[in-house]
Amino acid sequence: MFDVTIFNELKTKGYYTFELSNIDELNLLDKIHTICSNVNYTTAVHTGAYDNYSKDVEFETLEKLKDAAKINNAWQFWYQSNDLQNYLSFKEQSFIKEIINNILNKCYPSDLINKKEDGARNPSITMFNQKCYINPHVDGSNNFKLCNILIYLNKDWKEGSGGELIVNNTKVSPTFAKVAVLDFKHVNPEHSVSELLDSNFKRYALITGVNCDISKIEYL
């Protein structure tokens, strides 16, 4: 259900965070965390160096690229997989889309959201291991982008591990079931991810990008 207080906070601060608490949602996120830990990551994002993306590359080769990323002026380096749907049943696929759409409908008025995307919001997995990072930047380069929704999956994150989302100088810990919504329509906040420091920790999250309904592009 739409919450105008949350919407106003997004329009003012550019982000909103909260935690999922429904037991069925938590159980699915727990399963997805296990899936994430078994994925073979062969895609890396390294904007600003090389060709921005490396796809279908062996993980060991990507790790060597990561070591050189900062030297080559990459302003981010992290791993991504779009294979989550391959590991979920049809019911689970529908449920994760429902979770995302419920978050979206809680944060934004329905006529601002591109409803044509409702059935196609398949989240990607992001994985940060030691030395992964994202430097400060803004994402909303066009009027069609509404927001990004991040759902964190990490029960083992500890203070000092790194990997925090930083929005307007505020740190958001990537703890299990934490949701972060970044607004690109109204504020387009500067954000980053601090370098992951712990060699024994992998930071997993689901990310979904959402576009505006272009017929309501001037909606405030």
pLDDT at position 62:
95
pLDDT at position 182:
97
Which whole-number Å values give the CA distances from 128 to 56, 131, 151, 184, 220, in the listed order? Answer: 18, 8, 14, 23, 35
* pLDDT tens, residue by residue, 132-153: 999 998 886 667 889 999 999 9
* pLDDT tens, residue by residue, 2-29: 999 999 999 999 999 999 999 999 999 9
* pLDDT tens, residue by residue, 179-217: 999 999 999 999 999 999 999 999 999 999 998 876 655
Give the ranges where the chain is alpha helix by DSSP (H): 4-13, 23-38, 59-69, 90-107
Work out the percent of the chain whose per-residue pLDDT is above 70. Answer: 94
The fold of the 4-39+83-213 domain, in CATH, is Jelly Rolls (2.60.120)
Does this model's pTM top 0.85? My answer is yes
Give the integer Cα–Cα distance in Å for 66 and 76.
9
Cβ atoms of residues 144 and 212 within 8 Å: yes
Give the integer Cα–Cα distance in Å for 109 and 100.
15
pLDDT at position 80:
97
Phi, psi for 123 (deg, rounded to 5): -70, 150
Q: Is the pLDDT of residue 219 over 50?
A: no
Residue type for position 120 = A
Cβ atoms of residues 154 and 100 within 8 Å: no
Query: Which residue reads 């938590």 in tokens?
Result: 26
Q: In what helix (H) or strand (E) does residue 192 lie, and over which residues does it extend?
A: strand 191-193
Q: Would the CA dihedral through 47, 52, 56, 57 be positive or negative?
A: negative
What are the boundaries of each domain within the chain? Answer: 4-39+83-213
Q: Would the CA dihedral through 169, 77, 147, 215 be positive or negative?
A: positive
Give the ranges where 70-191 is alpha helix by DSSP (H): 90-107
